[in-house]
Every structure is written in C-alpha cells, then in structure tokens.
Structure 1
C-alpha cells in the first residue's frame, strides 16, 4: 500500500498515480482558464490556499518533473495567441500554465497545504480501492461479531460513506459545474462564432480584402472605417480633432475617443500605411502619452494597415496598448471582436 510519506518522497510513486486528476474535484472546484484546460500560478495558489511564492518554490525545486506533467512557460508569439484566447492582461510578458495533471503533481509535493493533504488522502483512498481485497479474510474477521452489532456498524458506515461522498464529491462537482460550465461554454461559443465569421468572410470576399482596400484609404476614411468597427462592437466613439482626427479640439497622437460597451474609457490611434512600412516606437510612445495623460484611457488601440517594429510592440506590451496589426485588423474587419473590447 502506498503511504502519504512515500508519495511525498518518491517521484516514481507520484508518476504511478499522476493520471487520476479526478480526485482534484472531490476536494474543491478547480477554476480553469477559458480554454477549459489550463490554470495559472495564481489559480493554483488559490486552489491550494497558499501564496504564489509557495507554488513558485515547488516549481523551482521540481521543474523537470512538473514539465513532464504539462507545466509550461509561454512567451513571444505563443503567448500573444494564448492571451487573445484566454483574455489575459496585455501587459503580461510571460505566463506559466499548469495542466490538471500538473496541479495533481503539485498536490503530491506540497507538504503544508490542508487542501493538498486532502487531495493526497483521496488519491491514496482511490489507489487502495482499485487493489484486490482479501474477501475471505474479511469474512473470517467478522464471523464472531454479534449480528446486531454488525448490522449497526454496517448502517453507520453506510451513512458516513454516503454523507462523505455527497459532501466532498457531489456537492463540489455541482458547484464547479455551476460556476465554470456556463462561463466556459459562453467563451468557447464566442470563439467558435468569431472563427466561423472569419471563415465565411474569407471564403466570400473579393480578391481585395478590407485591409488591402485600407491601403488606398485616406487617413480620414480609414479613421471612419475603424470607428465603424468600434461601434459595431458596442463602443461609442468620436473624432478628437488631433492629427488625422475629425472635428473637435483634441490633441495630436489620438484620433478617436469614447467608451467601450461596458463603460471603460477608450482611445484609438488610426494609421493607414503601406504594407512594407512598420510603425516605429516613437509613434507608439507619442500615442501612449496622449492616451494616458490627456484622455485617461483604460483601453488603448493602435490600429494600422501595416506592422509594428519590435521596439514598438515592446512599448505597447509594457503600457497595456493593444497593437492591431495588418492580420489582426483583417480578422476584426471580417467580424471577429477584439478580446479587449469583449
């Protein structure tokens, strides 16, 4: 029989039960990201009711084992795609993700977490239940018991077992389903709808797409095109009268201002450009200063028909600006809603 101490100290024993992730939900609901598969360091710490530094210490000491069970650190383009999918903060430059198998691995390594000890108890109980039981010995052990006492004991054990199963398994699972299922299904449905709209638009579009047409637009026309996309997604926007703006007495560096559908302050920079020209860091820095200092923007979009230099993208990431490049603008024009505007 595998004991808790052996489980804590033996990697091979942990590996033998690493696939029984169902025990996690028997203790409490494990919240996951909108992709329905992964969790962040913060979510793991919340599940085990410990600080994030404790989880990072476990990763530091057992990184190779955890990576073998699904732990990964996302950066670069892979991180950008994951942030779009899961709605993570645009300021995040890297993110560690855990699979359910990795979370169970952490439960077998955390010594001082009450939740982790409960997970190990369920895990060991499950391991014991799948082993063959010496039925004959069990019968002989109870032969001499008084029938009345035996009946009372069976009744008590049945009642306790039923209460434990209902309280620690069924109720947490139902709570988890109530909290997670609706939100995850809604997010996945939105993603599917966005993908379907893009596919339909790409199948039926003319040889010149929305962004290709934007290459020939005057700045004012392009600004009105972007304003229309914002309004389509529930925003209220107006021109600032800045560089390239329409009407008003705004300042240079921002073309559109307004509010998102949920009331956040919005600032948008619209730069139609030749495909071979990339937006430089100076333009991005000017927009960051104007959007924040002049308009107090909570959501900032820099939209272009070309691309961004690495330095400009780095500035955008550090200051929470959504850089809408040529490919993303094509998808937005085809019907996809930008994650930051959801």
Structure 2
C-alpha cells in the first residue's frame, strides 16, 4: 500500500489534518481569487494538474464533506454580491468556490494527481514530527525567533503589502459592504499570523528525510481500532521470536493487553495505547502498568506500546517505554 493512501480511506485522519492548509503553498504556489480566500473549480483543477471533470466528479462523491470545509455553490443574490466584492467578471448563473480547507480536503481525496500525492506526503511527515517532538520541552524563544526570520518573503509581501492595503482602500470607499470587507481583512491578517506560527514546523520538511516510511506506518495504525492495534502489536511480537502470544485486551485484562514469552523464554506483559498525537503517556500511567505487569501477571518483561509521545517523567520510569 502507498503510505500516503491512508488519507484517502479515513475521514477521521483527513479531519485531523485540515488545519494544515499551509502545505498547499509548500508543494506548489496556489493562486487565489481577488478576495484572497477562494478559488474556482478551474483554479483547483489547474493547481492539481487534472481536468475540471475530475474535480467535479470528486465534489459529486464527497459534496457533504467538502461543504463542511468551505465548498459553496453560489447562485442568485449571493453570487452577485460575491462578484461585486471580488471583482470577478462572469455571466454564469452559478459559481462553485473553494476555501483553502476545501482545497486541502480535495488533496486528501484526489487519487490521480502527483501534486495531491505530494500534499498527502507532507501532511504525513508533519504528523510524524508532531508525534516525535517532546511534549513538555517547548523550543526556546531564540529558536522560534530565528525560524521566524526565515519566513517566505513572497507570502508576507503579498499579504502584508498588497492584500491588506487593497482592503484598506476598499473599506474607505465602500459603504454597503464595509463590515464584510473589514471581516475579510481581519481574516487575511489572521492567515498571515498562522503562516508565521506554522513556518517552524515546515522548515523541518525541507531537508532530505530517511524516516519518511515511518509517517505512513503511524498513519496506518491511526486507522486501526483498539483491538486491531493490539493484534498488530501481537503480530510484531511473534515476528520477533516471541511465543505463546495471547491478546487479552478488554474489560478483564487486569491492566495488561498481551502476554507471552520472549525468544529467550522470559514472560512478557504488554500494554497497548492507540492515542491521538496531542495526548501523552504520563508517569502514573506507566507506574500503574508496571504494577499490573509485575504483580498481577508476574511478568519478567513489561512493554508499553503507544502511538503518542511519552512525557519525560514517563520515559524515566522503569521499564523502558516504547
């Protein structure tokens, strides 16, 4: 299986990544309508280097999901107001527009596009970085400042020196749409701030990566339910020479999900936790497991397997967390 293809299959994974719209510009420059916030179907097709019909077919199949993330079909008065505000010259009776979230949503659904595949790969890399960063060791202020200095000057120039002044001029001369224009200007300024916040993480993706495969592995495990994850870990134990491997996960597992024997004959107890990357395994979690493994199950080896980070205190708790 192609590793980035897990995003094609799991809406839960897609929803978890929709805030990372900055990866669109990292993969390829995205042209926007004059409102600075939307694109048309033709512009989406041009970005992904596919035909317009491919985008229309995708919208037909996933319309409800895309509408949740900013896809809209404008008609009537709403269309006329949008044309007046954005300066679009069009005589069509309807117009489909897409927000950046909707475009990213399409990138996670579009199969026959190399650009979409690159976007999915970036998203999985960012997911992997989020998992491996220590949860209680934020970067020093000096580190953040040095990263901010390297923000793409083209983006900040367009947003700060072109788009915002354009809104300022429109606000001064507009009466009927003044409130809407002020709201749009605030949105653009918010986007600029978010680009700065995300830039530090994007810098990590620019160099060559030897651990790219791990991103797909982690995403594949995210698509599993709890029982499937336990069975997966059990298969890994058998692969590494363990015997008598039994999956015991459930309300009566007494704190240990898997038991068995190592290749050299020692008894082993395993705890499996398939948590989201923003959560963390704490020291009390590890200590509770140690008590169950050592006292209730008399395990000689205690192994804690999780898909989320461990706090520093948890990593110091014996046995070694994994």
TM-score normalized by structure 1? Answer: 0.43
TM-score normalized by structure 2? Answer: 0.46
